[in-house]
Amino acid sequence: MQYNSFVFLGLFFVLVLLAYYIAPLKARWCVLLGASIVYYLISGHWLIVIVAGTALVVYGAARRIDRISTEAKAKRKQLPKEERKAFKQQVARKKKHVLAAACIFCIGLLLFLKYFNFVGGNINHIFETVGWAGRIPFLKLFLPLGISFYSMSAVSYLADVYWEKYPAEKNYLKMLLFLTFFPVVVEGPISRFDQLGHQLFEGHRFDYQKFTYGAQRIIWGLFKKVVIADRLNMFVSVIFNGSENYGGAAVFFAIIGYTVQLYTDFSGCIDIAAGCAQMLGIDLASNFEQPFFSRNVNEFWRRWHITLGAWLRDYIFYPISLSKFFQKISKGARKHMNEYYAQTIPPMVALFAVWFICGLWHGAEWKYIVYGLYYYAIMVVGMLAEPLFHKVCTALHINRSGKGFGVFQLIRTLVFVNIGMLIFNAKTLTVAGSMFVSLFEPAKWTSFAFVKDVALNHYDYILLILCTALVLIVDICKEKGICMRDRIAAMHFPARTAIYIGAIVCVAIFGAYGPGYGAVDFIYAQF
């Protein structure tokens, strides 16, 4: 059941809204739980059993960690001072064992279901290369809906309870709701328990402003998804799927087209999800912040899929880079190299883990791993070259904070990002390489015959340009601190209503659906 379908928005979600605001305030979380279970049963069928099992393991492990901490605090006060340190270490080991077991279960299940055949296929290839007869069987495995997203939410919850950021949830059904909340289960954002949990459980009274703002965001998300992203797919898919027949201009526009498609598809889905949640009185974490205004790839990934980046930062990067082991290495390195490079060693190692995991998280293919390591290479080169780059800019009197240099940084970042999108969307790494090479073959820039191979007419191209420009204008306004939602909400009722009706009509008329258009799933739903 797609978020942009009539069944979801016109039937399912309307019934959820009615049931939620009719139910008693204290029981409204039960409505959300029931709706989430129904949604999962419709979309993921019997695989909800795996989610329910994961929730039970997470619930039990967190309660156990919490109990160990509570009992230890009471006992520690009764011990002599000389015994407290050893006792603290003993308690930490117990908690670590429980945390490790639960995380191994959650991540192990994800790895098995999502990556078993990928790993097995690569091992079989090695066996064939060396002439071994052994073979790992191919298993027909089914992925529970949103497993990549709820697994990361589960791990973050367990880690936070372990670090005693908040106590463990005492109600299993509430934990199940946190992991299966229907607006976020498909594409996120990746939720933190302390940010989302209390909002789900406390119940919300009807708030007109939140309700209308949520409706605004749903319409805006639908506009980006069905008018822009799904229409662009008709162009992008033709070029990427038949890349051997195209080159030069076709590949160039297809790469840019895919970048716009992925942005409008993913952010559109997040807008619909956040809008649905807001109409229920719930605020989800922000997942996009005008990423194409970034001056470097580091900033781009702080603005793109923000919750994934924050999760990797908090639960992978910091634990590795700030560990005692790597701090000792950094301290030892200061004896043999300057301060700057000695300090970069822990971040470089941690970044490798971050980007390897980030790439692998996106899919069980080598292209996704290379996609992650591509960004790792850019960041590491940037870190290592920074002292030299600073000297060059100083010698040439280049103002790195000036507007001209800022424009250069924006263009440079866009180039890096679009190359990354080529790796991400190409069928294989070999195909990505061929498409990249074709960009530098002048002969392949002379023909625009590819336009006729695409099931789009000149009206579609004009519409795409205008609508993409509108998205760009809105993002520029956001970047400058101008909130269009507030301005629309402040308008008089007739003007405000006319904009809402116009937006709905625009989506209804210009949406890429019906005869000649194929239904397109949300891109990130597959991850």
The answer, yes or no, to whether residue 370 has pLDDT greater than 90, is yes
- For residues 199-227, one letter each, b for 16 or more C-beta atoms within 10 angstroms of the residue's C-beta and e for the rest, the string is bbbebbeeeeebbbbbbbbbbbbbbbbbb
pLDDT tens digit string along 421-464?
A: 999 999 999 999 999 998 888 877 767 777 777 878 888 889 99
Q: What is the 3-state secondary structure (H, E, C) of 146-199?
A: CHHHHHHHHHHHHHHHHCCCCCCCCCHHHHHHHHHCCCCCCCCCCCCHHHHHHH
Which tokens sit at 314? 């908090």
Can you give 385-434 as a three-state secondary structure string?
HHHHHHHHHHHCCCCCCCHHHHHHHHHHHHHHHHHHHHHHHCCCHHHHHH
Model confidence over 208-242: pLDDT tens digits? 989 999 999 999 999 999 999 999 998 999 899 98
Q: Please, which residues bridge with residue 288 across strands?
A: 304
Tell me the domain boundaries of the chain: 6-205, 207-284+444-527, 294-425
- The model carries a pTM of 0.91
Sign of CA dihedral 465, 468, 472, 477: positive
Amino acid in position 130: V
pLDDT for 332-365, tens place per residue?
A: 767 667 677 777 778 888 899 999 999 999 988 9
Q: What is the mean pLDDT of the chain?
A: 88
Query: Whats the size of the chain, residue-wise?
Result: 527
Residue with tokens 């009807």: 206
In the structure, what pLDDT confidence band is assigned to residue 514 with cuts at 50, 70 and 90? low
Average pLDDT over residues 289-310: 93
Q: How far apart are CA 243 and CA 302, in angstroms?
A: 32
Q: At what angle do helices 28-44 and 13-22 cross, to 10 degrees?
A: 160
Residue range 266-293: average pLDDT?
A: 94
Secondary structure (3-state) at 280:
coil
Q: Are 291 and 303 in contact, with CB atoms under 8 Å apart?
A: yes
CA 371/CA 360 separation, integer angstroms: 9
The answer to whether residues 359 and 371 touch, using CB atoms and an 8 Å cutoff, is yes
